[in-house]
């Protein structure tokens, strides 16, 4: 499944986002902080378990229901139930399952548990090789999702509770501060003799298939750039399959440019489509 699609036009999002244009040659004025990129301010329940941080082609819905963007929240996640919802959305987005597959529910649960445990390890700062990792989610109230007549499967798999309100994760990605990601080609910026790691990668970028063409992917990318800026990141990277045209268009729209591509032998060895490495410079004052 192609996890992302760009908007059908190059027009701006149907809702306001504080965007600061970053490039290697842009001015040094500071952008708004990442905390300003939240559409409302949730009250987190004490019942939820908080994780403390240490330092291709596919079927794309052509008539996606339009969301009420005033209800949308895009924010970093530190709570287990929301991380579980994000892990479930990733399994749902990156895998194609035949509905009659024997043991389908058990297999989905196994994959979600594996991603959930790995995500917790990364976010909590326990994964070697990662300086810092943030899971950034887009979510909508369950009541709004139900009003759009989306599948019960989607609602049940990707829901979490926030301050007594049931919500659904509709988009997710990871922001990884590190020199490289496992089994991926590495960026070249900045030079490795820098005193600190100011390179980061986006990974696991996906939006619920039913809600493509609502600008959710673009909004997630803009939020991730603000968080990266707050971390002191100067160079942001993302990998994309060479045949994933919707995702390539989305990243280009968000300011990413081509840097390099994966050797054909590596793609064959890993049994996957060859990947491109895209780069975005973030101006740090």
Catalytic site positions: 251
Q: Are 213 and 206 in contact (CB under 8 A)?
A: no
Q: Where are the beta strands (DSSP E) in the chain?
A: 73-77, 132-141, 159-162, 165-177, 199-207, 235-241, 257-261, 275-281
Structure token pair of residue 180: 């490289």
- Residue 55 burial class via C-beta count within 10 angstroms: exposed 0-12, middle 13-18, buried 19 and up: exposed
DSSP codes joined into one string, 22-52: --TTS--PPPPPGGGG-SS-----TTSPBPP
Quote the CA–CA distance of 60 and 40 in Å, as a whole number.
Answer: 30
User: How crowded is residue 154: how many other Cβ atoms within 10 Å of its Cβ?
Assistant: 21
Quote the CA–CA distance of 263 and 276 in Å, as a whole number.
Answer: 10
């Amino acid at each position: 499944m192609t996890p992302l699609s760009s908007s059908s036009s190059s027009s701006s999002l149907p809702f306001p986002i504080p965007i600061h244009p970053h490039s290697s040659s842009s001015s040094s004025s500071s952008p708004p902080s990442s905390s300003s990129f939240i559409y409302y301010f949730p009250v987190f329940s004490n019942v939820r378990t908080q994780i403390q941080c240490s330092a291709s082609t596919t079927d794309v819905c052509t008539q996606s229901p339009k969301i009420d963007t005033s209800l949308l929240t895009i924010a970093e996640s530190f709570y287990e139930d929301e991380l579980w919802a994000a892990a479930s959305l990733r399994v749902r987005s990156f895998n194609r399952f035949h509905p009659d597959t024997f043991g389908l529910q058990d297999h989905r649960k196994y994959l979600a548990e594996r991603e959930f445990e790995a995500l917790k390890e990364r976010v909590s700062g326990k994964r070697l090789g990662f300086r810092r990792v943030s899971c950034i989610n887009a979510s909508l109230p369950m009541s709004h999702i139900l009003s759009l007549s989306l599948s019960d499967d989607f609602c049940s798999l990707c829901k979490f509770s926030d301050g007594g309100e049931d919500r659904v994760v509709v988009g997710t990605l990871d922001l990884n501060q590190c020199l490289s990601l496992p089994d991926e080609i590495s960026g070249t910026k900045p030079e490795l003799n820098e005193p600190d790691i100011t390179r980061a990668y986006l990974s696991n970028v996906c939006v619920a298939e039913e809600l493509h063409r609502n600008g959710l992917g673009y909004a997630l990318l803009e939020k991730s750039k603000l968080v990266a800026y707050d971390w002191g990141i100067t160079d942001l990277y993302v990998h994309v399959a060479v045949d994933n045209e919707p995702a390539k268009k989305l990243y280009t729209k968000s300011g990413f440019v081509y840097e390099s591509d994966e050797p054909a032998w590596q793609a064959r060895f890993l049994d996957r489509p060859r990947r491109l490495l895209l780069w975005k410079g973030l101006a740090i004052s």
